[in-house]
């Protein structure tokens, strides 16, 4: 593994830098976001700007990470550790694999459990639709797609428009948000439409 190249490429969907681990709640968000996505690595001893500070005590960092993964994540996560020296400084690599027990929840400072997903280099709070997609994608349930005027209306709209949001779809078909979300989740899981999450909004496109 070329650590210098990883650091040079910068933080992203599967990579996060931490100078040190000081807060279990905060780091739990990153851990569950990785597990709910495609997995990822945390480089401890590296600042946000990519400068390598190294870790003072890898045992202390491991203790904080393991506590966050076991106590502040639900279901608990396993962290794979590796110690690498870069320019005589130790960088602790903490890897989280993509989970098949999605969704994972992180315990917030408000003592509530929240689902996070990784979008570019941020760990963002997941919407209800994303949580439902994660829940159902982890089960072996078959997906039953009804093809009513509501589904037809959505696909016809996406035929002539680039994208649509859940709110726009509710308004378009004059249905409740709950009904629109159920239809959208089914269509995402069946691969008919694609769900896109950004920091500002969530929207759907035809697959």
Three-class DSSP category at 50 = coil
Instruction: Specify if 190 maps to a domain.
Output: yes
Report the SS3 class of residue 35. Answer: helix
- Together in a domain, 50 and 97: yes
Instruction: Show the tokens assigned to 169.
Output: 């779809």
**Which 3 state secondary structure label does DSSP give 85?**
strand
Same domain, 118 and 185: no
Query: Of 84, 101, 125, at which residue does a domain stop?
Result: 125
Give the per-residue pLDDT at 23: 95
Residue 140 lies in a domain: yes
DSSP string, 130-191: HHHHHHHHTS---------HHHHHHHHHHHHSS-B-HHHHHHHHT--HHHHHHHHHHHHHTT
Residue bearing tokens 């159902």: 136
The verdict on 162 and 114 lying in the same domain is no
Phi and psi based region of residue 45 (left: phi greater than 0; alpha: psi -120 to 50; beta: remaining): left
Q: Is residue 42 part of a domain?
A: yes
E-strand ranges in 97-135 read 105-107, 113-119, 122-125
- CA-CA distance, 117 to 27, in Å (whole number)? 13
Range of the domain at 70: 3-125
**Inter-residue contact 137 to 44 (CB < 8 Å):** no
- pTM of structure: 0.89
Q: Which residue in the block uniquely carries the two structure tokens 């694999």?
A: 97
Question: What whole-number distance in Å separates Cα of residue 158 and Cα of residue 172?
Answer: 12
CATH of residue 159? 1.10.10.10
115 and 147: one domain?
no
Q: Which residue has the tokens 């037809």?
A: 152
**Is residue 7 domain-shared with residue 75, that is, in the same domain?**
yes
Per-residue confidence of the chain (207 residues) as pLDDT tens digits? 789 999 999 999 999 999 999 999 999 999 999 999 999 999 999 999 999 999 999 999 999 999 999 999 999 999 999 999 999 999 999 999 999 999 999 999 999 999 999 999 999 999 999 999 999 888 766 667 778 999 999 999 999 999 999 999 999 999 999 999 999 999 999 899 999 999 889 999 999
Q: Are residues 113 and 201 in the same domain?
A: no
Give the count of domains, the chain. Answer: 2
Pairing of strands 105-107, 113-119: antiparallel
């Amino acid at each position: 593994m070329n650590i210098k190249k990883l650091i040079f490429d910068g933080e992203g969907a599967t990579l996060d830098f931490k100078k040190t681990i000081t807060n279990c709640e905060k780091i739990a968000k990153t851990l569950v976001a990785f597990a709910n996505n495609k997995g990822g690595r945390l480089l401890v001893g590296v600042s946000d700007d990519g400068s390598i500070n190294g870790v003072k005590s890898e045992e202390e960092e491991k203790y904080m990470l393991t506590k966050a993964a076991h106590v502040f994540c639900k279901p608990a996560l396993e962290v794979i550790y590796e110690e690498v020296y870069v320019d005589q400084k130790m960088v602790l690599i903490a890897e989280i694999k993509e989970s098949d027990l999605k969704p994972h929840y992180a315990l917030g400072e408000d003592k509530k459990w929240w689902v996070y997903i990784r979008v570019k280099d941020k760990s963002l709070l997941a919407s209800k639709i994303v949580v439902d997609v994660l829940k159902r994608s982890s089960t072996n349930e078959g997906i039953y797609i009804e093809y009513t005027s509501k589904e037809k209306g959505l696909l016809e709209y996406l035929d002539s428009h680039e994208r649509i949001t859940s709110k726009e779809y509710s308004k378009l078909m004059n249905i409740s948000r709950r009904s629109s979300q159920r239809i959208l989740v089914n269509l995402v899981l069946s691969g008919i439409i694609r769900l896109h999450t950004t920091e500002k909004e969530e929207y759907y496109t035809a697959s």
